[in-house]
Structure 1
Amino acid sequence: MQSARSLNAIEFLNKQAAEIQQSIVIDKSCYNDSVKRGLRNADGSGVMAGVTRIGNVNGYFMKDGKKMPMPGQLIYRGINVEELVDGFMSEGRLGFEETAYLLLFGALPNRPSLESFTRILDEYRTLPERFFEDMILCAPSNDIMNKLARSVLALYSYDPDPETDLNNIEKELDQVLHLVARTPVIVANAFAVKKHYYDNESLFIHRPKDGLSTAENFLYSVRHDNNFTSDEAQLLDLCLVLHAEHGGGNNSAFACRVLSSSGTDIYSSISAAVGSLKGPKHGGANKKVMEMFSYIEKDVKNWKDETELLSYLRKILRKEAAGGDGLIYGMGHAVYTLSDPRAVTLKAMAKVLAEKKGMLDEFELFETVERLAPTAFAEERNEEKVMCANVDMYSGLVYKMLGIPEELYTPLFAIARMVGWCAHRIEEVFNSNKIIRPAYKAVAPKGEFVPLDRR
């Protein structure tokens, strides 16, 4: 808990906050064509910063120098994720473990390899001795992502040989598998401690159970009675599969690769990725979607009145409603144009679940917002661009229907994406000997040193 600030500190910070405004604001004219703001080109495409064999995201194609919209594709190691999902679901199996194997090792496992892999995950889920007591219980956090980042970094101290050895891929894989296996356990434990210390609830800590999948173990661990249905496990497993990887250019994977390129250890690189995912413009967006819809559900009297709903969406863009962010969360993507394949798959599953849960009216509200949002942008900002719902539009709704609290939405994203981060980490450290270092244009005016007594 941060200590109360003294009057002296308050006065100093108030004064400096007012003065710093002059030095931190950069005129937009400074960002000319040579500056790739956000590492994006002028046409909206990404600056090419590397190559990868892990994942690929297709959302448009170039024709005569222009971006042309297309249905979105998400590719894991050359396999379309929709084909991957159809494959294991048609066989009546959960798919996250074999998806993790595919992303980490480059090919789909056969049955013996998959069984060996799942046994290793069972073995590696156990946290180091006294890790829970010292790192989670004794220093609770109100934010699970904060606790996850701190815990990942702390695992360095429990690793007998934590530093990177470019000649030892076996050691790196051992660290990777420990992180993949332990992340759901850390999240579940951090959530239990948060509920105890911050929400005044009883403390329930459940050890992982051998033989359960990642999705099953998570539901088993976060529920007081350990109960879950096969349908719930299947839907959560699907969410994990769809969130496991999204190419090397997404903010958190790139953060992981940037740190890895410096030669630092895996725990430092992955904790940076966790910190990135926490942001509301990245993984934290699924929580912001649900916050936004809580405003919509409260303020819009008739959810089926599209005129009223469109008017409210325009108020959101004018920063006059829904918290004043000026953003319609869950809409738009840096790459996808006509559709986000993750959102398409989740939306179909969400509709089925909404019908079972008696939440069809709420699902249809999400669907209407998805349809009206491009019109709101066009009318309010004169932006005539193709826009689709992204994965965050429906992932939060699915979690809500599964009875998963909002504070676990982004941590679940991290549990899944740990696989993708680790795959990118391995690829970066074993292929590149160059540190990633972009340039920044300096635009500060020329100054002179003035002696202290004359200032």
Structure 2
Amino acid sequence: MSDNEVMKLEEDKDLKGEFKELCKALRNNHRINPNLYVEYDVKRGLRDSAGKGVLTGLTEVSDVTGYNLINGRNIPAEGRLYYQGINVNDIVDSLKDRKFGFEETVYLLMFGHLPNKTELEHFLNVMFELQELSGRFVRDVVMKASNENIMNAMQRCVLTLYSYDENPDDISPENVLRQALELIAKLPLIAVYSYHSYRHFRKDEMLFIRNPEKGLSLAENILLMLRPKGEYTELEAKVLDIALVLHAEHGGGNNSTFTTHVVTSSGTDTYSSVAASIGSLKGPRHGGANLKVQNMFDDIKAHVKNWENEEEVGAYLHKILNKEAFDHSGLIYGMGHAVYTLSDPREVILKRFAKALAEEKGLMEEFALYELVESLAGKMIKEQRNLQKNVCANVDFYSGFVYSMLGIPQELFTPIFAIARMPGWSAHRLEELTNANKIIRPAYKYVGHHTEFETMEERSAEKITDEDVKEEPEKCKKEEKGKK
């Protein structure tokens, strides 16, 4: 080893030590006494103590209900989801012999009514024309700086589309509509091409780029572009189309759609707004939850010998709840919802199609395991946490299983969610631009301490130790006990 290399190594050691000191300072500085949130009645997560969301806006785009109001009281009920006032169950039931369910849903969310035959035909013509991604964009943007997280790749590509737009900052409804429809049409290509780019440049696999075909539904084109031979069954395309319909919109309060409202209220461009919403959806507490469910079931299948044995499956679920198994979080992923109580209508519908797909794929044994876990988990969570509210499975419970049966790689699970949610974000962005005209700016109360400024010579040279960082949360716990 040369003298220069030794010197560089020593410098790196010093730098690591200095950065470690900065990390200690960071952890100690940003810790707020949890009792203060109670004292000042802070609605953490914009939810009250009962878990009900704080009213921050109005919308006509969709309605999400899990209760019936009877004699002034909220009584738990089967979940209902409405797109522009129409029950999503009725939308799905009407699509038996039609393949453009998602496209009809996009039209409904954007324009407030279901299209007639002529309106749908004109709309599809516009969408097919907007689908194209230039070879230059694919080569210079999609193929560059590939990475495993396709959500980040989608953000980068969406932001770069700003540079390809002749009028990117115009936030008139007409221009935003044009941008929104382009993004709805192009996002599937961006996601699938980004995945192929990652597999080629990072995994040294064969690269193939297939253009979408006019006349095919968006769901069909995703499968066409994704698969090496571009083949798929009618049921596979139908199930993916239904999954897109169910994920297209879910009220203005979900994290990514609220992000759309917040960022839109600043007056920024469409590309910045969409990129921010994609960043929100990426999180495991939001759109990334379906991947967590899939990983959890992989773990269950690896540790439970008899998938049909209720006692054995229940015992392992207890281990998960007690933080003794899987990721030690104590969570059974895919269970529970902020609004729905007795059932999530999206899960009920998707479960039906998951069963049909499992029958076609010969995977009924795995489907039965999902059903068994669903039947046990809600009761176990409710009992262990002493909850009054019922715990039902949410849409993420079966979506990962469905995507796996469709041959969709895990890297695309959350991007498929983003593709589906793009029309919902777009409808809410247009609603925000049309009606609110006021920047969203909630309040945060300052609970720190005002201190006198000290010169460099007056400042203490004391260093923060590991004990200081560990002592702070214990101090908060003691104060909380004292107040009780």
TM-score of the aligned structures, taking structure 2 as reference length: 0.89
Pair 1:311–1:447, CA change in 2 (3 A): farther
Indicate whether 1:88 and 2:92 are aligned: no
Indicate whether 1:152 and 2:158 are aligned: yes
Task: State the partner residue of 1:366.
Answer: 370
Question: What does 1:77-226 align with in structure 2 at a 5 Å threshold?
Answer: 77-89=84-96, 91-128=97-134, 130-166=136-172, 169-226=173-230
Task: State the partner residue of 2:476.
Answer: none
2:379 equivalent among 367, 375, 399: 375
Q: 1: distance between equivalents of 2:13 and 2:132?
A: 47
Larger displacement relative to structure 2 (421-430 or 16-25): 16-25
Task: State the partner residue of 1:280.
Answer: 284
Instruction: Structure 2: give runs of 5+ residues left out of the alignment.
Output: 1-8, 461-484
Structure having the higher Rg: 2
1:445 equivalent among 445, 449, 457: 449
Larger displacement relative to structure 2 (417-426 or 41-50): 41-50
Task: State the partner residue of 1:409.
Answer: 413
1:326-370: CA deviations, max 9, x gaps? Answer: 221100011000000000001111112212222111111111111
Q: 2: distance between equivalents of 1:158 and 1:430?
A: 25
Amino acid in structure 1 at the alignment position of 2:130:
Y
Q: Is the 8 A contact 2:59 2:431 kept in 1?
A: yes
Q: 1: distance between equivalents of 2:449 and 2:372?
A: 50
Task: State the partner residue of 2:64.
Answer: 57
Q: Is the 8 A contact 1:43 1:66 kept in 2?
A: no
Amino acid in structure 1 at the alignment position of 2:103:
E
Task: State the partner residue of 1:309.
Answer: 313
Larger displacement relative to structure 2 (74-83 or 105-114): 105-114
Q: Alpha-carbon deviation of 1:128?
A: 4.1
Amino acid in structure 2 at the alignment position of 1:41:
D
Q: Alpha-carbon deviation of 1:13?
A: 2.4
Task: State the partner residue of 2:43.
Answer: 36
Indicate whether 1:20 and 2:29 are aligned: no
Q: 1: distance between equivalents of 2:99 and 2:134?
A: 31
Q: Is the 8 A contact 1:101 1:109 kept in 2?
A: yes
Pair 1:120–1:287, CA change in 2 (3 A): same
1:290-332: CA deviations, max 9, x gaps? Answer: 0111111111222222222222222222322112222211000
What SS does the corresponding residue of 2:327 show, helix, strand or coil?
helix
Q: 2: distance between equivalents of 1:75 and 1:8?
A: 59
Task: State the partner residue of 2:337.
Answer: 333
Q: 2: distance between equivalents of 1:17 and 1:64?
A: 54
Pair 1:240–1:216, CA change in 2 (3 A): same
Q: 2: distance between equivalents of 1:234 and 1:193?
A: 27
Q: Is the 8 A contact 1:354 1:401 kept in 2?
A: yes
TM-score of the aligned structures, taking structure 1 as reference length: 0.95
Alignment size in residue pairs: 449
What SS does the corresponding residue of 2:94 show, helix, strand or coil?
helix
Q: Is the 8 A contact 2:379 2:391 kept in 1?
A: no
Amino acid in structure 1 at the alignment position of 2:451:
G
Q: 2: distance between equivalents of 1:442 and 1:163?
A: 35
2:252 equivalent among 248, 270, 275: 248
Instruction: Structure 1: give runs of 5+ residues left out of the alignment.
Output: none
Q: Is the 8 A contact 1:128 1:158 kept in 2?
A: no
Q: 2: distance between equivalents of 1:197 and 1:160?
A: 31
Q: 1: distance between equivalents of 2:303 and 2:47?
A: 36
Q: 2: distance between equivalents of 1:351 and 1:268?
A: 39
Q: 1: distance between equivalents of 2:413 and 2:231?
A: 19
Runs of 4+ in 1 over 4 A off after TM superposition: 62-66
